[in-house]
């Protein structure tokens, strides 16, 4: 009697093992790709927020550096007519060209006011702003109690978008103050 040739093929256990291994490899690959794509999008969002904040802080710094002061002998300090509103989240002042300026957040946008009155026009400097705060410091680094004590203006801006939140802080000494 002739011998039967063994049938070539895979057993059920070999097939199941191959499917399980392919599933594990596919899962690891998918997770790795997802994390890479997610990191790419987060980096893009962070870069956009950073650029937007940088431009806004540059403009805000330039404007605040030009805050007018009132001459008193050799010294020049801000007076109530120079810094007309000194709040934590809203600042208004007059610059050296006697033009009013102001900064505040409105509906997620950093606004720059051209004038010191509520009815004066505003333009948007940055979007995605979730917080804006001003700190008014005296020459010793303490909190300035009155306008005439202001030596340094600290600005903190927080921008948020798509789950990313970035804080930016700058301290500005108006160049006319001495």
Neighbouring-strand partners of residue 26: none
Asked if 42 and 34 touch (Cβ cutoff 8 Å), the reply is no
Write out pLDDT tens, residues 42-55: 888 889 888 988 99
Asked if 114 and 120 touch (Cβ cutoff 8 Å), the reply is yes
DSSP classification of residue 173: -
Average pLDDT, the chain: 89
Q: Does the pLDDT at position 74 exceed 80?
A: no
The answer to whether position 113 is within a domain reads yes
Structure pTM?
A: 0.75
Q: Does the pLDDT at position 18 exceed 90?
A: yes
The answer to whether position 34 is within a domain reads no
The answer to whether position 1 is within a domain reads no
| Token duo for residue 140 | 């010793």
> Average pLDDT in the 17-35 region?
94
Number of folded domains in the chain?
A: 1
The answer to whether position 16 is within a domain reads no
The answer to whether position 177 is within a domain reads no
The answer to whether position 66 is within a domain reads yes
* Residue span of the structural domain in which 149 resides: 41-172
The answer to whether position 105 is within a domain reads yes
Element (H, E) at 132: strand 129-137
Write out pLDDT tens, residues 126-164: 999 999 999 999 999 999 989 989 999 999 999 998 888
Question: d(Cα 123, Cα 19) in Å, to the nearest integer?
Answer: 61
The answer to whether position 165 is within a domain reads yes
């Amino acid at each position: 009697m002739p011998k039967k040739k063994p049938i070539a093929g895979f057993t059920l256990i070999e097939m199941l093992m191959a499917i399980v291994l392919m599933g594990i490899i596919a899962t690891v690959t998918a997770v790795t790709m997802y994390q890479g794509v997610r990191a790419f999008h987060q980096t893009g969002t962070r870069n956009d927020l950073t650029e937007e904040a940088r431009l806004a802080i540059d403009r805000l710094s330039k404007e605040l550096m030009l805050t007018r002061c009132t001459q008193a002998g050799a010294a020049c300090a801000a007076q109530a007519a120079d810094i007309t509103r000194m709040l934590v989240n809203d600042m208004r002042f007059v610059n050296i060209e006697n033009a009013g300026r102001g900064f505040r957040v409105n509906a997620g946008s950093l606004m720059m006011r051209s004038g010191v009155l509520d009815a004066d026009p505003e333009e948007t400097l940055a979007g995605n702003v979730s917080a804006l705060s001003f700190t008014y410091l005296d020459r010793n680094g303490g909190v300035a109690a009155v306008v005439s004590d202001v030596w340094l203006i600290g600005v903190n801006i927080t921008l948020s978008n798509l789950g990313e939140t970035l804080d930016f802080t700058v301290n500005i000494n108006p160049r006319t103050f001495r």
